[in-house]
Structure 1
Amino acid sequence: MFEDERDDKIYNLIITNGIDKNNEYGQFTEKLFSKVDFKWKESISGSYATAGEAFYKKVDRIIMLSGLYNDNKELFENLLNAGKEHKIPIVLVRPLGLEEVPEVLEESAATIVGWNANCIIDSIKDAEETM
């Protein structure tokens, strides 16, 4: 790797979780851990609706695992609102094994990605605010 290609940034992520019948959260975080040259940490709040400016100011990207949407709509709505209000890019991950994503999520996403670890990392790094 060339020196100017090094990315020593530690990405602060919010990753949707909640009711997760297919363990998409666990599989997604395994993808992140598999890329040892990608540094990240996760920010978690008991309520994303009431988390304040100080919490969101530290967040680089919101990762939405769209396969969890139907069982966690309130969580997704709160994070969509937070992304818009605090200008945080949203990386939308397709449901595991499927191509279609909920339209309401697609409209707010800076980028949409599947389950390839390299593509996920590139999408996180390259996501720009679109709202």
Structure 2
Amino acid sequence: MFEDERNDKIYNLIITSGTDLKNEYGQFTEKLYSKVDFLWKESMSGSYATAGEQFYQKVDRIILLAGLYNDNKELFEVLLDAAEKYSIPIVLVRPMGLEEVPEILEEKAATIVGWNANCIIDSIKDAPETM
């Protein structure tokens, strides 16, 4: 794809946060902000478990930061369920510096990506719409 092909879509993302001892959330969002030609916003809810169809219908992708999984399993389970229920593609980001991801997450992911900003953006844009 040529760089001059402009994509004005604003991607509505849910990005996992929670207990984050290595600041992976901050580092991930910095990667998104570094790509000024990629338009996005983040949907947040006080409780993803009680957020309903109206909330999830607006979400384009759920970003799971695999490095946060062990300390935030409940949140991940809620988001995995929501992704399945509302047919939202999951972009799974490998833990910082590691290749392996939890198998349960790998099975549900539409795509898996590392920490290269260009690869992250491509994965978000190209994630299959159906799971």
SS in 1 for 2:91: strand
Hey, what does 1:104 align to over in structure 2? Answer: 104
User: TM-score, normalised on structure 2?
Assistant: 0.96
Residues 46-65 of structure 1, C-alpha deviation per residue, up to 9 Å, x if partnerless?
11111000000000000000
TM-score by structure 1 length?
0.96
Q: What is the SS of the residue equivalent to 2:108?
A: coil
Segments ≥4 residues shifted beyond 4 Å: none
Q: Given residue 45 of structure 1, which amino acid in structure 2 is its aligned partner?
A: S
Give the C-alpha shift of residue 101 in structure 1.
0.2
Distance 2:108 2:6 in 1: 29
List alignment gaps of at least 5 residues for structure 1. none
Question: How far apart are 1:130 and its partner, in Å?
Answer: 4.5
Report what 1:48 is aligned to: 48
Which range moves more in the overlay, 19-28 or 44-53?
44-53
Shift of 1:129: 3.6
**Is the contact made by 1:62 and 1:89 (CA closer than 8 Å) also made in structure 2?**
yes
- Equivalent-residue separation in structure 1 for 2:130 and 2:43 (angstroms): 22
Which residue type is aligned with residue 122 of structure 1? Answer: D
Match of 1:69 in 2: 69
Task: Give percent identity, aligned residues only.
Answer: 81
Residue 39 of structure 2 is matched in structure 1 by: 39
Q: Deviations over 1:66-118 (max 9, x none)?
A: 00000000000000000000000000000000000000000000000000000
- Find the residue that maps to 2:20 and give its secondary structure: coil
Report the 3-state secondary structure (helix = DSSP H, G, I; strand = E; otherwise coil) of the residue aligned with 2:69. helix
* Cα distance between partner residues in 2 of 1:113 and 1:97: 12
Q: What code does the residue aligned with 2:42 have?
A: E
Say what the alpha-carbon RMSD is for the aligned residues.
0.8
**Hey, what does 2:25 align to over in structure 1?**
25
